[in-house]
Structure 1
């Protein structure tokens, strides 16, 4: 049986809506963080540890020192959602204009200036593979990854079309201790926490 593209998109929309409704029904009943990708639900069962959360705090504060007041480095909710693509993600830090935070519902990913992730100790592939695929697909122009496991990271930019869908064309790797530029702002990576064994 052949499914027309419109029917395929409609079926994908129903699946996404069912996954989203399921996650809302599970809100506050299961531990961890849930996100929706093209492959289904990603569940990071471990709550972020101190080094993860301290890294997020350092990044937010360092960015807000160099950004104009009408741009924020937001670390809370709600999620970033592209329902037509069937993707709902929650970046550790969202660089977003203050004005685009107003209103109700999830954030439109096209309003983000950058998404920043601190790699989870329990599920690093979610940040290094899944989000590296999903963020360009939903139109996030800059994706920065900080990895406390290895004291390294990368900034990805320049979305371009590929046979597998939109991908980042430019990747700039860094090691902790170097300055890193995220969108228009450069911050230090000195003294960022590392995961302890």
Structure 2
């Protein structure tokens, strides 16, 4: 197998960025992710409504899912070195058995990635991740937006001239049930940003 010069450059650039993040050893506050454009740094710590939304979604999903599937809110990251992308979803729906690894999760092991839109950088969730997650092979991506009390679920990855993209988008309003993958949960009582 040969690697085209552009792919070699992309792989090298990703490795440099990955090493840089690894060398910082938690010296800078915030969350770091790598996209094809470079490093995304969200300096703001998640607020109460953000964390409460993630908690309620996790609990509701885990009630609906079989015991061997979890809605995980911790580390590690989800990484696709081939695509040059490192992300950290707010929630990852994944089989518990697929968590028994060292290092970052394989994005193709995720059943869904879920993000709660941050007040400080909403385009990261609504634009960049809508592009990155299908490139990584994450089959379902759900966005919950406490700014507006709305959200969307993206699914059905298909090929386009610009690479894999989600073909289906289902919008919802808080108060309506929402289906993420195979599981339907309530969006009642999800907090909003003030």
How high is the TM-score relative to the length of structure 1?
0.96
1:155-194 residue pairs with structure 2 within 5 A? Answer: 155-194=153-192
How much is the aligned-residue C-alpha RMSD, in angstroms?
A: 1.0
Which residue is 1:28 aligned to?
Answer: 26
Aligned partner of residue 178 in structure 1, secondary structure: coil
Kindly indicate whether residue 88 of structure 2 is the aligned counterpart of residue 98 of structure 1: no
Measured after TM superposition, the shift of residue 45 of structure 1 is 1.0
Give the ranges of 4+ consecutive aligned residues of structure 1 lying more than 4 Å apart after TM superposition.
none
Tell me the distance in 1 between the aligned counterparts of 2:70 and 2:90. 13
Moved more, 8-17 or 29-38: 8-17
Tell me the distance in 1 between the aligned counterparts of 2:20 and 2:3. 26
Aligned partner of residue 6 in structure 2, secondary structure: helix
How high is the TM-score relative to the length of structure 2?
0.98
Measured after TM superposition, the shift of residue 24 of structure 1 is 1.1
1:65-80 residue pairs with structure 2 within 5 A? Answer: 65-80=63-78
Tell me the distance in 2 between the aligned counterparts of 1:20 and 1:47. 22
- Number of equivalent positions: 193
Gaps of 5+ in 2: none
Measured after TM superposition, the shift of residue 5 of structure 1 is 5.7
Aligned partner of residue 168 in structure 2, secondary structure: strand
Tell me the distance in 2 between the aligned counterparts of 1:92 and 1:76. 8
Measured after TM superposition, the shift of residue 25 of structure 1 is 1.3
Which residue is 2:47 aligned to?
Answer: 49
Measured after TM superposition, the shift of residue 7 of structure 1 is 2.0
